[in-house]
Structure formats: C-alpha cells, structure tokens
Chain A
Amino acid sequence: MTTRILIVDDHEVVRRGTRQVLIEGFPGATFGEAGSAPEATSALGAQAWDLLILDINIPGRSGLEVLEEVQRLWPKLPVLVLSAYPEEEFAVRCLRLGAAGYLTKNSASDELVAAARKALDGGKYVTAALAERLAAVLGGDVRAEPHEALSGRELQVLRLVATGHTLKEIAAELHLSEKTIATYRARISEKLGVSTNVELTRYALQHRLVD
C-alpha cells in the first residue's frame, strides 16, 4: 500500500525539499501539496491521507488552527508539525494539540524520515533536545530513540568513534576529510543529545550499536 502524504507549506522550495527527503524514506509514497490553510482544508477533504506534514506559519489561518481542525475532523490522521520556529516555542503546544511530532525545518532533512516512520506507526516523535525538556517538565517518562534519526554514514561514524578511533583514522577509512568527520560527530552529538566522546560511547554501548 502506497503511503499518501500531504505537505502543507507556503514555500514551494520547502515543499520540494520535504518531498525529496521523504521520497528517500518512502520510495513509493504519493504526495499532495498545499500552500495555504484553505488549500490544505480542501486537500484534506478531497481524499484520505496517511500523514500530514504541516507548517505552522502559513497564509490564511495559522497552522495551529489547522492542526486543531484536523484533530477534530480526522482524529486518526497523524500530523507532523514542521516549523521554522524553535521547538521551545511551539513543540509542547503542538504535541498537546495532538501532533505526532514537532520538527524544526533545520532538523527536517535529518530527522523527518525517522519522525514520519514513527508517526505512521501511530507513535510520537520527539527530538532528543525536546525529550530532555519534556523530561524536565513532565518527569522523565518520555523516551526517545534519537539514533533512529542517524543516517547510515553517521551511524558508521558513531561506531568508529565509540570503538576508540581517532578522527584521522575514521577520515582515512571513509576517504573523507577530518573536517567532514568532525561535522558528522557534531551532528551525531546533537541528535543524540550528548556532548563528549565518552557519552557518545556510552550511548552506543547502551543501545547496542557497537559490539
């Protein structure tokens, strides 16, 4: 069964980028696009959808209102909010309104596929940073599995780092520059919500990412 995904964003560039990212994860998916709240409403009414990718800042009504309406009319439809605004501003509100996840557009290219998978499975996707915040607010029963958002190459780098390879060794092995490896490591740290090599290694061991 093909996955039907509706992307609501007023920027064509963003819609296209989002579609490209999602095609990577869901090769057979079909996509619908809407540039405004009214377009979104009519698209939602026109056919059934499996997933709604919703921008908050869209012409017409605010994305939050659209989110409420979707929850009311199509309670089963998972909604991923993809926003240009920081998580700290809207994430909690969106999750309360029933969104399956909240992603900033910054992190979309890295985490969108993982988040979409989670949402389609009926789960909620929470980024590592947000999980940390929510843990502080709600008392720690929010569990995230941030490594799901890691790309294959990033996973490869994580394993190498966790097994004690230096940047130079990793770079040589992967035929990449040290700078790129450093970038990867930074991205990994961010996604996993860790900051040092030791924490990184511990995370890899805990989640059995290394032998």
Chain B
Amino acid sequence: MAHGGPERGWRRTELWLPAAYAAAAGGWVAASDAALQVFAPSGEALVRWSTWKGWAFVVATALLLHVLLRRALANREETMRRLEVSEAQARRLVALSPNAIIVQDELRVVFANEAAERLFSATGPQALAGRSIFDLVHPDDHAGVRARTEALAAGQDVGATLPRRMRRLDGTEVRAEVALARLSLPEHPRAVLVTIRDVTEAWRLQQERERVAAALRVLGACNEALVRAGSEQALMEEICRIAVQHGGFRLAFVGLAERDEARSIRLVAHAGDDQGYFATLRLSWGEGEGSQGPAGRSLRQGAPVVVHDASGEALFEPWHQAMSDRGLASVGSFPLLLGTERLGVLVLYGGGTGDFGPPVVALLQQLADDLAFGLATVRTRAALVEERNTLQAILDNASVPIGVLDRAGRLVRVNGPFAETSGSTVAELMGRRLADGIVPESELAPLLAALERVWEGQSPAVHVNHHVARDGSRRLVEWTNTLVRGANGEAVFMVGLGHDVTERERNEARLRESREQLRALAARLQEVREEEKARIARDLHDELGQLLTGLKMDLRWLENRIGELPPSGTVGALLDRVVAASELSDQTVASVQRIAAELRPGALDRLGLAPALRQEARRFQQRTGIACETELEDGAPEPPAEVATALYRICQEAMTNVSRHAGAARVVVRLRAGPDGLELRVEDDGRGLDEAALGPEALGLLGMTERATALGGTVRFERRAARGTVVVARIPLAAAAPPGEGR
C-alpha cells in the first residue's frame, strides 16, 4: 500500500520500455542497414559489416535484458522479505493482544490466541481448537451468534461490536464485547476473525453503579420521608415502600426489637408482594428459634448481615424453599441503632445474588441509621408535642399571666391571663414585641434596659410595669423572669411569671388615700377639739369665773360686815359660815381657772408660745416636783396659731410622758428658730425611751407625730447618749396648709 505510487509507475514502465525498445531497435535496424548500403565499399564488406552489426545488436540486447532482470529480481526479494516481517509482526500482535482473538471457520475454532485461552480458561493451545463456537457462548446468545455469522458470510456488514454473554469452559459466564471480521485464509477461505474483549469487570461495575444509584435514590427518597414523617408507623411503611419501589428490592420489612423474654423481633411494617411469607416468619434477636437468620444476627451484632445467595446458605435451610418459591435470592439485614440502643432491623430481599455489593451495603446501613435516627426523631417529636401540650395546658390553666420572650424580644408564648392584662387574645400577641403597644411608651425604655440586664444575667429578675389595652385601660403587673438556656448554655428564652398587682396597687392607693383622709380627719378633729376646748375654757374662765368672782366679792362684803359686829357667839357662828362659803368660792374659782387653763392655756392665745411654755414648765414643776427649765429664744417670731398650739401640745404630751414613765429629775424645754421652722426639744434625764414604746400602740407618741405631720413637720424620739430621752419636734413656720381652714 505504501508503494502504490511506484507500482503504478512500474506498470507504465512495463509498457513504454518495450515500446521504446522496439522503436529504437527498429530504427537502428532500418538506419544501420541504409547506412551500410551507402558506406559499404562492397557487397562483401556489406555482408561482413552486417554480420558485425547483428552481433553487436544481440550483445546490446542481452546486456539490457540482464539489467532489467536483475532489477526485477531484486524487487521481488525485497517484497518477500517485507512480507515475512509483516507476518511475524501480525502473529506477535495477535498473540500479545489483550483481547481474545479467535478465528473460526464453519463455526468451529481454528485459531485462538493466548488471551482467548485465558478468557475461556482453556488448559492449553489445543484445548480450544476444533471446538464448536457455541461451546463458548451463553445459550441465551446462541441464536444471535448464529445469525450474525451467517449475515457476515452473506457479505453483509455486521457493524462494530456487540455485547455478548460468553461461557468459559468451566461453565462460568463472561461478559464480553465481540467484533466479527471476514478473514480469507488460504486453507480457510471463509474464515471469520472473532475479537472478544472481556468487559465482565466493567459490566459488574456498571451493575454495581446502577445498584448504588438505586440505593442512593432509595436513600434520598427515604430521607425525604424521614423529614416529612408524621408518625413512627407511617415512616417505617414509607421506607419499606421506597426500598421496594425505587431500590429494586423484592421485599422489605422493618422489625422492632422487643424487650420481652424471647427477645422477639416484631414485624411492624413491610412492602412488596411477600405472598404470605412474612406471616410465617418467627424472628428473635435472642438465642432461640428464629435467631440465626440475618435479622437476628445483625441485631445481635449491631452490624449489617448480608446473604448474597440464600440457596447456598445452610442457615437458610428453614426458609430456603419459601424464598426460592418467591424468587428471592439474597437478603440484607441492617440494624437500627441509636447509639448503643437497638431499635430493630431493616431487612431487604433481592432477586439477584449481586444485589448487595459493599457500597450498597454501606448505603443501606446508612439508610438504616437514618431510619433509626428518624424513629428517634419521631419519638422525640411526639414526646416534644406531648411536652408542649402539657406546657400549653399549664400555661392555659395558670391563673397568673405568663409570657415567653425570645432573644429578639418577641413573644413566642403567652397564656390567657397575659392576654387579659393587655386586652388582646393569645393569637394576636404571638410574635409581637413588648414595644408593639403592650407596654406603655413611657415605661418602655427603662423596661427594655432592665430586660437586657436580665438577659445578661446581671439584674434581679423582678420588675413591675403596666400593660396597656387597646381601650387604654392599664393593668399593673409584677414580673419574675427566668432565663431558659439552650444546649450550649446561652439564654434563648425568657419566661416571665406575672402577678397582676393592679388591684393590690389600687387598694394600696385607696388605703393611702383613706389614711390621708383619716389623718386629715384626725387633724380636723384635733383642731375642732382644740377650738372646742378653747371655747369651753373661755366660757369657764370668762363667764363662770367672773360670776364666781362676783359671788366671792359678795361673800367678802358679807364677811366684812359681819366682822364689824361686836364679837359674840352668834356673830362668830355667822362669820364662820360666811368665811367657809367665801373660802369655798375661792377654791371654786381656783378650780375653774385651773380647769380652763388645762383645757386651753389662755397664755398661749394672749401671750404667745414662749410665755405659754414657761407657764407650763412652772406648773409642771409645781405639779410633779420635777425640775423644769426653759431655754426659749425670745427673738423667735411668733408662729401661726396652729403651729404654736401643736408645739405647745407636743411639749405638754412629752412632759406628761416624762412625769409618767421617765423617772426623771430634770426636764429642759428648748425652743429655737431654725432654718426650717421652729424646733422644740424636750429633754429629760430619765431612764430613756423604751423602744417598744415607739410601736403603733404608743398613742401619745402617735398623737405628737400626727400633730406635727399635719403641719408638714416631724417628731423624733431619741435616747440621749448619757441618760434620758429627747423629743425633737420641728414644724415649718410657713406651715403646710392644714386640711381644715386655719382659725
């Protein structure tokens, strides 16, 4: 082929060379004969010269023939040598070809290379020779092979390669790709060259890939089912269905490991047409009957157990017939494990022996793991739902407001009482922030700041704030907050337990108000009483006192008149009676004046506070024998009447206490003007104030306090460092307007 060009040239040479020779030789013969006849001197010379010319022609022709023959022979030798090399190379190629090459003639093997021997497990070069080609082909493909060979023989194009199932001499199957070509050999003019490539591994891989793909599809579908799973039962049934529908498995079931005595495996879900097979199964993951199958073993071992070919498995004896009746060849059992806990098994049945390749097993175990996780998730979810329902029930039935905030400050859970405090429904409140109209704006900033501190765990988790309803009404709620922490310890929710203190607050306000009213009433009563006393004192003093004075003057007049009579028994007796009556009227006047002064010291109204205090101190000393001094600032401005009265009464009360309780020898009354009004101090050197006397039962003290308080002042009761008690009353001069009008 590589010599196509010169070959064609050679053929042309074959034509023009003889032609040129004939022309040259013819020309020579004709020209030389003519030249001889011209130049030959004689006939004799002509003959001689013609003979010499003939001899030269013969020699030249012979030389030319020699050259040509030599060239042709050399060419042929070169060609033969090349052919030999080429054939050796072809033989080597055939021998070394990784593909099996067979030459068949009339469907019998006439040649097979080493690869073919290896492929067909032949024992030697001659083992294949002479065999029918059908010995090497899987019966399923006999017809195909025959048809293709015949088509080839008929001169049809049979295309490139075809997959075939071949059979080794030992009967095992080989997947191959086969190409056919006609080969005309001298001794076998109708031979066929058969090239066979072993693709068993590739085919197996492809099969594996498909199974893996199927398993992956199953896994994917199952994972989806896991995510959607509503209930445990539905999940397990769905997984079985997917395994059969998408995974190409014949049957599938899920058995749960029972904790009973027999450690039975309870079949809870299955898919595929089991033709009553599953009803016959009695499985256990213990030691007894039904425990030696893949399900029992895998559950015991906690690892997948695969039986690729059940028919060859002694352990399958009990189920062998039942399985083969249903076309089941292989079984894989995959334990459902959650940590160390054994939940059950997922068991799959395949129709082929190669259905459980290692990658598939790995994937299926992963599926089993996922299923186990799914079951756990579903169970957890169910438990969570129960827990949530329980929580909701608690929330709903709690009589106090409860709210749960997430970290973003949104309400994720509230109960009815909470909704009531803000005049909404539970549904309306979900997802809202406190700022969304639940808490009044004025309280928002400090509240949020306080909550932030709670989130950070810094502040005491108690606060009080209002909730405002749409109609503007407000409830005051006292909250106790608790943080709920997530798995990694960070605070995720804040649970607020509320206490509606609106009523309490209202009651307290009412109480305060009523206390204020009582105080005002007490002050008013005090005032009225003071006025009443003053009026009675005035009446006693001015009216009764004057009348008695008149009476007394009359008696004295009478007495003087009688006294002027000459002394005698009768006169004496008269005088005695008149003097006695006069004395009686004296005492009566004194009594009236004393009573009037006690009711309301006239000095307080007529002379002012300081003189009144001095008078009181003097009377106190006379009455009790306790030394009483006064240190009164004379320059002090005269306070308003009500202040003077209050201070005077406080002083009186304090001195009464001293005389009653203190056992004092000395009392000092001090009055001075301070920056914040008048300060009255009554100090004694007695046994000191009994702390218990400061209790609410100490009405005297309370009375003092009330008097001062009504005028915006204070009263303090202190133990003196050394000995005795100090009562300090301070009342502002610009007295806070007393509840009633001043006098």
- Which A residues form the contact surface with B (CB < 8 A)? 9, 11, 13-14, 16-18, 20-21, 24, 57, 84-86, 88-90, 105-106, 108-110, 151-153, 173-177, 179-180, 183-184
Residues B553 and A85 in contact, CB atoms below 8 Å apart: no
- Please indicate the chain A residues that have their CB under 8 angstroms from the CB of B545 in the complex: 84, 105
Contact partner, A84, options B541, B554, B607, Cβ 8 Å: B541
Across the two chains, which residue of chain B brings its CB closest to A175? B572
What are 28 A-B interface contacts by the 8 Å CB criterion?
Answer: A9-B546, A13-B551, A14-B549, A14-B550, A17-B549, A17-B554, A24-B557, A24-B560, A84-B545, A84-B549, A85-B606, A86-B593, A88-B615, A89-B603, A89-B611, A89-B615, A90-B606, A108-B549, A109-B552, A109-B553, A152-B563, A175-B567, A176-B572, A176-B575, A177-B572, A179-B579, A183-B579, A183-B580
User: Interface code B563-581, partner A: CB below 8 Å = 1, 0 otherwise?
Assistant: 1100111011001100110
CB proximity of A113 to chain B, nearest CB, Å: 10
Asked if A110 and B556 sit within 8 Å, CB to CB, the answer is yes
User: Min CB distance, A119 to chain B, in Å?
Assistant: 19
Query: Do the beta carbons of A153 and B572 come within 8 Å of each other?
Result: no
Contact A175/B553 with A57-B542, A88-B615, A151-B560 known, Cβ cut-off 8 Å: no
Interface size (B, Cβ < 8 Å)? 36
Q: How far is the CA of A86 from the CA of B607 in the complex (A)?
A: 12
Q: A11-B547, A13-B550, A21-B553 are in contact. Are A89 and B602 (CB under 8 A)?
A: yes
B704 at the binding interface (Cβ < 8 Å): no
Please name all residues of chain B whose beta carbon is closer than 8 Å to the beta carbon of A20 when the two chains form the complex: 553-554, 557
Interchain CB contact (< 8 A) of B586 among A13, A84, A106: A106
Of the candidates B542, B550, B576, B607, the one whose C-beta lies within 8 Å of that of A16 is B550
Residues on the A chain within 8 Å of B567, using CB = 173-176
- Please state if B575 and A17 are interface contacts (CB–CB under 8 Å): no
Q: Are A21 and B575 in contact (CB under 8 A)?
A: no
Cβ–Cβ < 8 Å partners of B542 in chain A: 57, 84
Question: Is A177 a contact partner of B549 (Cβ separation < 8 A)?
Answer: no
A53, chain B: closest CB distance, angstroms: 12
Q: Tell whether, in the assembled complex, residue A179 and residue B580 are in contact, meaning their CB atoms are under 8 Å apart.
A: yes
Contact assessment for A180 and B603 in the assembled complex, using a CB-CB cutoff below 8 Å? no
Chain A nearest CB from B612 CB (Å) reads 10
A11 adjacent to B546 (CB under 8 Å): yes
A interface: dominant SS: helix
**Which chain A residues border B576 with CB–CB below 8 Å?**
176-177, 179-180
Assess whether A105 is in contact with B549, with CB atoms less than 8 Å apart.
yes
| A175 interface neighbour in B554, B571, B579, B606, Cβ under 8 Å | B571
> How far does the Cβ of A130 sit from chain B's closest Cβ, in whole Å?
15
Contact assessment for A105 and B546 in the assembled complex, using a CB-CB cutoff below 8 Å: yes
Interface majority SS (helix, strand, loop, mixed), chain B: helix
Q: Which residues of A contact B586 (CB under 8 A)?
A: 106
B603 surroundings in chain A (CB, below 8 A): 89
Given contacts A14-B549, A109-B557, 14 further A-B contacts (CB under 8 A): A11-B547, A13-B551, A17-B550, A89-B607, A89-B615, A106-B590, A109-B552, A152-B564, A173-B567, A174-B567, A175-B571, A176-B579, A179-B576, A180-B575
User: How distant is B639 from chain A, measured CB to nearest CB, in Å?
Assistant: 19
Would you call B568 and A175 a contact (CB within 8 A)? yes
Q: Which residues of B contact A177 (CB under 8 A)?
A: 572, 576
Bound-state Cα–Cα, A180 to B542, Å: 29
Complex: A195 Cα to B557 Cα, angstroms = 26
Q: Which residue of A lies closest to B546 (CB)?
A: A11
**With an 8 A cutoff between CB atoms, is B589 at the interface?**
yes
Spell out B's residues near A (CB within 8 Å): 541-542, 545-547, 549-554, 556-557, 560, 563-564, 567-569, 571-572, 575-576, 579-580, 583, 586, 589-590, 593, 602-603, 606-607, 611, 615
Q: Kindly state the separation between the CA atoms of A24 and B563 in the bound complex, as whole angstroms.
A: 13
CA distance A84 to B615 in the complex (A): 16
Name the B residues within 8 Å of A13 (CB-CB).
546-547, 549-551
Q: Which residue of B lies closest to A184 (CB)?
A: B579
B569 touches A175 (CB 8 A): yes
User: Among B547, B550, B575, which residue has the most Cβ atoms of chain A within 10 A?
Assistant: B550
Q: In angstroms, how far is the closest chain B Cβ from the Cβ of A27?
A: 13
Q: Please, which residue of chain B has its CB at the minimum distance from the CB of A178?
A: B576
Q: Is the CB of B583 within 8 A of A183?
A: yes
Q: Is the CB of A21 within 8 A of B557?
A: yes
A72 shortest CB reach to chain B, Å: 22
| A111 → chain B closest CB, angstroms | 11
B309 to chain A, nearest CB (A): 136
Chain A proximity of B306: nearest CB distance (Å): 127
Do A11 and B550 touch (CB < 8 A)? yes
A57: chain B residues at CB < 8 Å are 542
Docked CA distance A121–B554 (Å): 27
Contacts of B553 in A (CB 8 A): 14, 17-18, 20-21, 108-109
A57 to chain B, nearest CB (A): 6
Nearest B residue (CB) for A176: B572
**Residue from B553, B557, B579, B607 having most chain A Cβ neighbours under 10 A:** B553
Across the interface, A109 reaches (CB within 8 A) one of B556, B580, B593, namely B556
Partner of A89, one of B541, B557, B606: B606
What are the residues of chain B within 8 A of A180 when measuring CB–CB?
575-576, 579-580
| Chain B residues positioned under 8 Å from A105 (CB to CB) | 545-546, 549
Q: Are B602 and A85 in contact (CB under 8 A)?
A: yes
Query: Is the Cβ of B546 less than 8 Å from the Cβ of A84?
Result: yes
Please state if B549 and A106 are interface contacts (CB–CB under 8 Å). yes
| Minimal beta-carbon separation of A177 from chain B (angstroms) | 4
Report the nearest B residue to A154, measured CB to CB. B563
Residue of B nearest to A156 (CB): B563
Contacts of B589 in A (CB 8 A): 106
- In Å, the complex CA distance between A179 and B43 comes to 245
